[in-house]
Chain A
Amino acid sequence: MTTVAEAPPRAPAPETEPPRKRGRWTPYLLLVPGLLWLLVFFALPVIYQASTSVQTGSLEEGYEVTWHFATYWDALSEYWPQFVRSVLYAASATVLCLLLGYPLAYLIAFRAGRWRNLIMILVIAPFFTSFLIRTLAWKTILADGGPVVGALDTLHVLDVTAWLGWTVGDRVLATPLAVVCGLTYNFLPFMILPLYTSLERIDPRLHEAANDLYARPSTTFRKVTFPLSMPGVVSGTLLTFIPATGDYVNADLLGSTDTRMVGNVIQSQFLRILDYPTAAALSFILMAAILFMVMFYIRRSGTEDLV
């Protein structure tokens, strides 16, 4: 009896073993393409840049690794204003994005009804055009003597912004304001999308519950909606702030020599001055600075569970 009972399971056993083994390796196999990609296009370039940043020499005689860390200090002491400016512009753009994006994301998540998809498409639509073309369009929008500048001038807004140092004379183009506007515009969708996803996930019954528990709509927003949307706020601000800090296109097209950001410096060091060690050192300082700021920010906002 026992032998009869045992016989059938033994036969199919060897057939079921191999797939289980293959199953165990599947996750790693799936990781391979991504890891290869990261290795070739991220890890290797980073190592290469790290070595470049500590090289000395010249274009004619060739470069050599001499562990010349002074490049970092020299780069920082020469270009710190651009660093400060980058952080300032990126932070302003992030705040503006949050102020513009939050109400819109809130509207899409809770009030849009059947218009929700249409508004979402409108938010994403700019991506169908090139980043460069969109930024160039802003050049036209903010052009001297154009309708926007004319209107701002008539309303005496330009007097205020000029007093604050955001604009120069009766121009908007080639001023800090133009650069920040360009950054805000270009990174706005990166703010709206994570905000929308985290707002949309909030159970509308929580609003009703708060209302039922004596919280007027403004209190409900402060005590329930906003805290629950924090993951979206954090990821939205990071997705805006990080690329905005390193951006150089907006400063290049909409700014002037007085609005150069660190991205512009790196770009010209690499492509025009051909001082590769300084360019690489600047890149590393930027990377470290952003990492540091982001870590501090995430600690402070207490959001371990991003998104």
Chain B
Amino acid sequence: MGLLSKKDAKLITDPLADNNPITVQVLGICSALAVTAELKPSIVMAISVMFVVAMGSTLISLIRNIIPPKIRIIVQLIIAAVLVIIVDQVLKAFAYELSKQLSVFVGLIITNCIIMGRFEAFALANSPWRSFLDGIGNSAGYGIILIIVGFFRELLGSGSLLGFKVLGDSIEKTGLYAYGYENNGFMLLAPMALITIGIIIWVQRSRNTALIENN
């Protein structure tokens, strides 16, 4: 591979599975609960976080040698917040519709633990290019879990995917509903997001036993 060295490629592939920020490091759970009741917001959130983590990590890495260690957390927080605000303003001016959909996520992006986690653990000690790749990899790993959870919650909770009623109409009793199938309203509530993530963690660990901690 010409573009990425083996070591660099690992920065992207690792967080997708064996070092996933949600299922292995258990970071970013809060937003994973909040936005996954439907598939579409999950996808939007995944993309937004990817943008902020990748850009932020690169920026932090560029100035990593001049950041005073005493206030480094504040500096990281400011960079994340500034990026988010700028994106929000630009969207409001040029893509108003999209900004309306994102509204609630903007605040959630800043508070995402993955962002601070990657800035602190990786970007402060690595070159900009590697930090950028690390940002992409981690946010992709985060995004995949969000999309999987969003997929099941919307399908089982509302009987739809991206708003399309794939299982039929629950009030008119068509499709699957004609046979007595009912939506599980519990899927839409936050506890089921946690349980779904728990199931994903269980499946992942039973397939890869190296992830199981020994007590």
User: A and B, one complex?
Assistant: no
